[in-house]
Amino acid sequence: GAVVSQHPSRVICKSGTSVKIECRSLDFQATTMFWYRQFPKKSLMLMATSNEGSKATYEQGVEKDKFLINHASLTLSTLTVTSAHPEDSSFYICSARESGAEQFFGPGTRLTVL
């Protein structure tokens, strides 16, 4: 149990385009989902926390207009990187939590912006 999927696993896009990443909890209802980014050999950086049906809470320094988060249902959250630039290239990871304290991570999405 506690399986979280992400799609796509890898995406390459041109600068200025927008990219949508999906995060799904496959066998449980996720009351809360989290979005992280991670640069090579660096720690996880929490970008935002999203609760189903409400606006996401963004961490300090994360532009909410740049990184659009939608948590439309208890099993799906999406992150859209708008007008992507090369500095947005990173490993984006979502995690989901049901009612307990444990987070379960998706496999991650590697974004490369040319």
Partner 1 sequence: QKEVEQNSGPLSVPEGAIASLNCTYSDRVSQSFFWYRQYSGKSPELIMSIYSNGDKEDGRFTAQLNKASQYVSLLIRDSQPSDSATYLCAVNTNAGKSTFGDGTTLTVKP
Instruction: List, as one string, the DSSP characters of 65-105.
Output: TTEEEEEEETTEEEEEE-S--GGG-EEEEEEEE-SSS--EE
Q: Which residue has the tokens 């249902």?
A: 73
Question: Counting contacts by CB under 8 A, is residue 107 touching partner 1?
Answer: yes
Using the minimum distance from each CB to partner 1, give the nearer residue, 13 or 46: 46
Question: Counting contacts by CB under 8 A, is residue 108 touching partner 1?
Answer: yes
Instruction: Name residues contacting partner 1, limited to 46-105 (CB under 8 A).
Output: 46, 49, 93, 97, 101-105
Smallest Cα–Cα separation from 6: which of 114, 111, 87?
111
Using the minimum distance from each CB to partner 1, give the nearer residue, 61 or 101: 101
Residue 43 amino acid letter: S
Residues interacting with partner 1, by CB under 8 A? 32, 34, 42-44, 46, 49, 93, 97, 101-108
